[in-house]
């Protein structure tokens, strides 16, 4: 596939240069009485190309929507996510209507009113009514969008601390993530990078009694339908915790704690078995199979088949391995989650073990 594409590129480049050299020849021979200002003939030709271009553009837009809409993420796996998706679809619908109309007018006028000798243009300098119309229409539409958007925004961002939420810390470092669960007391122990020492890689304050039952994990497990309040902390540079499947993102800033809260609604298992994901994974595995054949022909190892898991990724440039800073997320039924969490070692136990070993 890749080789084929390279050949296509080279062929296209060849054609480009060939065409260019032809044009150069043409442009040189005809320069005898050419003022280099567009003539009626140029106006006509360019107007027709303009028409051709707008047709190309519409076909291309259609092709993109037809072929690439499937790239859009699956159904949101969080409670607020469906609101997000609705707002997104309304906005895209709206801007595509404006796009289709204005691009048509622009290019069609450019075609229709092509210049001809002797034709008189209309001296039309001002019209307050028109200006008013196209000021007020965007105002109304945008007012609607702004109000709708802001309601959704405050819904998503305002966390009711009294509600029954589970507090989880997401800890970022070059180049990985850790999750810290707050334990029975649902309160995270104090922490600062200055406490980092030995096994205490997250810099948790040993003397803080809230810290004893904190649990640190390299995978993020979440119970389904339970609101989680994430507290983000970074050890070194800016990172951004991006949960695309949950329509959630928050920067992770060294020196301060940021937060975001959402409620996962679809378990990993359900997502894997969803129609969208089954199709997607099948397609990806076909691509990987083809690629593996290529790799093995070169004597490299084949790629593993892909199985879908939710992930958290870093979305703020953070250094050389920024492109591979991820953490697996597992959304599961509450009992499965409880089972998993009890198996994890608490911070108090980790520290006690270390004392013994001394």
Partner 1 sequence: MSAIANATVAEGHHGHDDHGHHHKETFITKYIFSQDHKMIAKQFLITGLIMGTIGILMSILFRIQIAWPEESFKVFEFFLGEKYATDGVMNPDAYLALVTIHGTIMVFFVLTAGLSGTFSNLLIPLQIGARDMASGFLNMVSYWLFFISSVIMLSSLFVESGPASAGWTIYPPLSALPEAIPGSGTGMTLWLVSMAIFIAQSLIGSLNYIVTVLNLRTNGMSMTRLPLTIWALFVTAIIGVVSFPVLLSAALMLIMDRSFGTSFFLSDIYIKGEVLAHQGGSPVLFEHLFWFLGHPEVYIVILPALGITSEIIATNSRKPIFGYRAMVASILAIAFLSTIVWGHHMFVSGMNPFLGSVFTFTTLLIAIPSAVKAFNYITTLWKGNLQMNPGMLFSIGLVSTFITGGLTGIILGDSTLDINVHDTYFVIAHFHLVMGISALYGLFAGVYHWFPKMFGRMMNKNLGYIHFWVTAIGAYGVFFPMHFIGMAGLPRRYYTNTNFPYFDDLADTNVLITVFAIITACVQLVFIYNFISSIFYGKKATQNPWSSNTLEWTTPVEHIHGNWPGEIPSVYRWSYDYSKLNEDETDYVIPGQDFVPQNVPLQKNEEELNH
Stretch that binds partner 1, among 137-145, 161-169, 182-190, 267-275 (CB under 8 A): 137-145
Measured from the CB atom, is 130 or 352 closer to partner 1?
130
Residue 139 lies near partner 1 (rule: CB under 8 A): yes
Measured from the CB atom, is 92 or 166 closer to partner 1?
92
Residues listed for the chain: 358
Residue 149 lies near partner 1 (rule: CB under 8 A): yes
Q: Which one, of 220, 207, 144, 148, lies nearest residue 177 by Cα?
A: 220
On whether the CB atoms of residues 214 and 346 are closer than 8 A, the answer is yes
Minimal distance, residue 126 CB to partner 1, in Å: 6
Minimal distance, residue 167 CB to partner 1, in Å: 17
Please identify which residue in 216, 313, 327, 331 interacts with partner 1, judged by CB under 8 A.
Answer: 313
Stretch that binds partner 1, among 123-131, 160-168, 263-271, 329-337 (CB under 8 A): 123-131
Measured from the CB atom, is 99 or 354 closer to partner 1?
99
On whether the CB atoms of residues 307 and 281 are closer than 8 A, the answer is yes
Stretch that binds partner 1, among 108-116, 182-190, 216-224, 330-338 (CB under 8 A): 108-116
Q: How many CB atoms lie within 10 A of CB 63?
A: 10
Please identify which residue in 75, 166, 187, 203 interacts with partner 1, judged by CB under 8 A.
Answer: 203
Q: Which one, of 223, 76, 97, 102, lies nearest residue 156 by Cα?
A: 76
Residue 209 lies near partner 1 (rule: CB under 8 A): no
On whether the CB atoms of residues 258 and 252 are closer than 8 A, the answer is yes
Measured from the CB atom, is 180 or 183 closer to partner 1?
180
Please identify which residue in 93, 129, 134, 184 interacts with partner 1, judged by CB under 8 A.
Answer: 134
Residue 329 lies near partner 1 (rule: CB under 8 A): no
Residue 268 lies near partner 1 (rule: CB under 8 A): no
On whether the CB atoms of residues 189 and 325 are closer than 8 A, the answer is no
Measured from the CB atom, is 326 or 350 closer to partner 1?
326
Strands 166-173 and 239-243: unpaired
Please identify which residue in 7, 59, 256, 278 interacts with partner 1, judged by CB under 8 A.
Answer: 256
Residue 66 lies near partner 1 (rule: CB under 8 A): no
Q: What is the end-to-end Cα distance of the chain in Å, rounded?
A: 58
Helix/strand/coil for 177: strand
Stretch that binds partner 1, among 110-118, 219-227, 329-337, 349-357 (CB under 8 A): 110-118
CA separation (Å) from 100 to 34, 65, 90?
37, 13, 15
Please identify which residue in 7, 18, 42, 339 interacts with partner 1, judged by CB under 8 A.
Answer: 42
Rounded to an integer, what distance in angstroms lies between the CA atom of residue 134 and that of residue 151? Answer: 26
Find the binding residues for partner 1 in span 273-312 (CB under 8 A).
280, 283-284, 287-288, 303, 306, 308, 311
Measured from the CB atom, is 203 or 348 closer to partner 1?
203
Rounded to an integer, what distance in angstroms lies between the CA atom of residue 279 and that of residue 295? Answer: 24
Measured from the CB atom, is 85 or 336 closer to partner 1?
85
Strands 176-181 and 215-217: antiparallel
Residue 86 lies near partner 1 (rule: CB under 8 A): no
Find the binding residues for partner 1 in span 158-197 (CB under 8 A).
158, 174, 192-194, 196
Q: How many CB atoms lie within 10 A of CB 347?
A: 24
Please identify which residue in 130, 199, 302, 352 interacts with partner 1, judged by CB under 8 A.
Answer: 130
Q: How many CB atoms lie within 10 A of CB 273?
A: 11
CA separation (Å) from 317 to 75, 166, 179, 313, 320?
27, 29, 21, 11, 9
On whether the CB atoms of residues 77 and 264 are closer than 8 A, the answer is yes
Helix/strand/coil for 186: coil
Residues binding partner 1: number (CB under 8 A): 133
């Amino acid at each position: 596939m890749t080789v084929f594409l390279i050949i296509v590129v080279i062929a296209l480049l060849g054609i480009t240069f060939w065409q260019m050299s032809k044009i150069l020849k043409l442009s040189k021979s005809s320069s005898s009485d050419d003022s280099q200002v567009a003539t009626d003939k140029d106006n006509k030709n360019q107007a027709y190309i303009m028409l051709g271009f707008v047709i190309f553009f519409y076909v291309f837009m259609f092709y993109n929507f037809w072929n690439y809409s499937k790239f859009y993420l699956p159904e949101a796996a969080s409670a607020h996510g469906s609101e997000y998706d609705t707002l997104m679809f309304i906005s895209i619908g709206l801007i595509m209507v404006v796009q289709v109309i204005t691009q048509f007018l622009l290019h069609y006028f450019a075609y229709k009113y092509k210049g001809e000798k002797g034709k008189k243009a209309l001296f039309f300098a001002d019209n307050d009514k028109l200006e008013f119309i196209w000021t007020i229409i965007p105002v109304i539409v945008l007012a609607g969008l702004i109000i709708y958007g802001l309601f959704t925004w405050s819904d998503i961002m305002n966390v009711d601390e009294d509600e029954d939420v589970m507090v989880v810390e997401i800890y970022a470092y070059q180049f990985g993530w850790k999750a810290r669960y707050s334990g029975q007391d649902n309160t995270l122990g104090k922490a600062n990078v200055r406490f980092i020492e030995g096994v205490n890689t997250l810099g948790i304050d040993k003397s803080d009694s809230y810290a004893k039952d904190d649990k640190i994990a390299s995978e993020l497990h979440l119970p389904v339908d339970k609101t989680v309040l994430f507290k983000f902390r970074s050890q070194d540079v800016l990172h951004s915790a991006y949960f695309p499947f949950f329509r959630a993102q928050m920067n992770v800033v060294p020196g301060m704690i940021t937060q975001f809260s959402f409620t996962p609604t679809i378990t990993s298992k359900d997502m894997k078995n969803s129609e969208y994901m089954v199709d997607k994974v099948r397609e990806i595995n076909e691509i990987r199979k083809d690629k593996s054949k290529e790799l093995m022909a070169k004597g490299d190892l084949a790629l593993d088949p892909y199985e879908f898991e939710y992930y958290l990724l870093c979305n703020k440039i953070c250094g050389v391995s920024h492109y591979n800073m991820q953490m697996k997320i597992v959304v599961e039924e509450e009992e499965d989650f409880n089972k998993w969490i009890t198996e994890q070692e608490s911070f108090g136990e980790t520290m006690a073990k270390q004392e013994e070993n001394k």
